[in-house]
Amino acid sequence: MTTATVSTENLVVTYDEFKALDDVSIDVAPGESFGLVGESGSGKSTLLRAVAGLAPVTSGKIRVHDRVLVGNRRDKAFYRDVQMVFQDPYGSLHPRQTIDRQLLEPLAIHGVADGERRILKALDEVGLGSGFRFRYPHQLSGGQRQRIAIARALILEPAILLLDEPTSALDASVQAEVLNLLEQVRRDRKLTFIMVSHDLGVVTHMCDRLAVMQNGRVVERLSSADLVAGRIGEDYTRNLMVASKGFQRKGAAA
């Protein structure tokens, strides 16, 4: 399929003896929001990292916009096209650099000229005023930090955003704000999302299609609508579904 924006074919990632990804193939269409769910250690984050060139690919193909990516080397053009937002906003921002400097860094690396305008625009876009520009990360709340991380990813105007559990470190009330923000930027910029989450509620809310992963393999691919309607093929997916409904006392349901 050449229509896919991002695709992987029989991708294998091994750390020493451990197979983190085992023969994984996905296709993400342009402008689509694609979800990856599974428990810890299922390889969902590794898949994102492999696309970004952050995991040791042993075999298989990764294709982004019709370019086949070999090994872990990515050129600058790739990073203009693909950016990533990480899980923990406390760990992904430099603690001793101001927001301004952290947003300037990608611009400096890529030799973008109108830094001033772009930084102000990026801050505005994620709903933080210019007043946040010269603050340090410790002066911001978790939700504000994650907005900065999103601003940093958007500042190069990429077409594809890789989101690794972007809201799991946040409070429920703040999570809603960040999810709304992500949906809005996707609509405004016609972005393609690949989003990892362990929360089925979040994934079905954000994504059109999703892949369920377990032990480094994709066990099921389905659309959010199918999941909602309960058209589920695999027991593992059904287990995740039950788990996401919350605690139920045995016998109390009767």
Partner 1 sequence: MNPLLTVDDLKVSFPTRTGVIEAVRGVSFTLGRERLGIVGESGSGKSQTGRAIMGLTPAHARVTAKTLSFEGIDLLSAAPKVRRDLRGKRIAMILQDPKYSLNPVMSIGRQIVETLTRHEKVGRAEARERALDMLEAVQIRDPGRVFDLYPHEVSGGMGQRAMIAMMLVAGPELLIADEPTSALDVTVQLEVLGILDKLVSERGMGLIFVSHDLRLVSSFCDRVIVMYAGKIVEELAASDLANAKHPYTQGLLNCMPAIGSDRHPLPVLDRKPEWAL
Residue of 148, 134, 163, 172 lying closest to 52 (CA atoms): 163
Backbone angles phi, psi at 58, to 5 degrees: -90, -45
**Which part of the chain contacts partner 1 (CB under 8 A), choosing from 47-55, 60-68, 83-91, 240-248?**
240-248
Q: Does 108 bind partner 1 (CB under 8 A)?
A: no
**Which part of the chain contacts partner 1 (CB under 8 A), choosing from 21-29, 67-75, 94-102, 180-188?**
180-188
Residues 183 to 202 in contact with partner 1, rule: CB under 8 A:
183-184, 198-202
CB 42 → partner 1: shortest distance, Å? 9
Q: Does 234 bind partner 1 (CB under 8 A)?
A: no
Residues 65 to 104 in contact with partner 1, rule: CB under 8 A:
none
- Binder of partner 1 out of 5, 175, 192, 237 (CB under 8 A): 175
Backbone angles phi, psi at 143, to 5 degrees: -65, -40
CB 184 → partner 1: shortest distance, Å? 7
- Binder of partner 1 out of 177, 215, 222, 226 (CB under 8 A): 177
CB 227 → partner 1: shortest distance, Å? 7
Burial class for 62, CB neighbours closer than 10 Å (0-12, 13-18, 19+): buried
Cα end-to-end distance, the chain, whole Å: 49
Residues 120 to 139 in contact with partner 1, rule: CB under 8 A:
none
- Residue 46's SS3 state is helix
Structure tokens at 176: 């809603």
Q: Which is nearer to partner 1, 25 or 168 (CB)?
A: 168
Q: Does 46 bind partner 1 (CB under 8 A)?
A: no
Pairing label, strands 57-64, 6-15: antiparallel
Angstrom distance (rounded) from CA 46 to CA 30 = 22
Q: Does 217 bind partner 1 (CB under 8 A)?
A: no
CB 173 → partner 1: shortest distance, Å? 4
Q: Does 246 bind partner 1 (CB under 8 A)?
A: yes
Residue of 141, 144, 105, 107 lying closest to 123 (CA atoms): 144
Angstrom distance (rounded) from CA 91 to CA 169 = 11
Angstrom distance (rounded) from CA 79 to CA 11 = 21
Q: Which residues bind partner 1 (CB under 8 A)?
A: 39-40, 142, 171-177, 179-180, 183-184, 198-202, 204-206, 227-228, 239-250
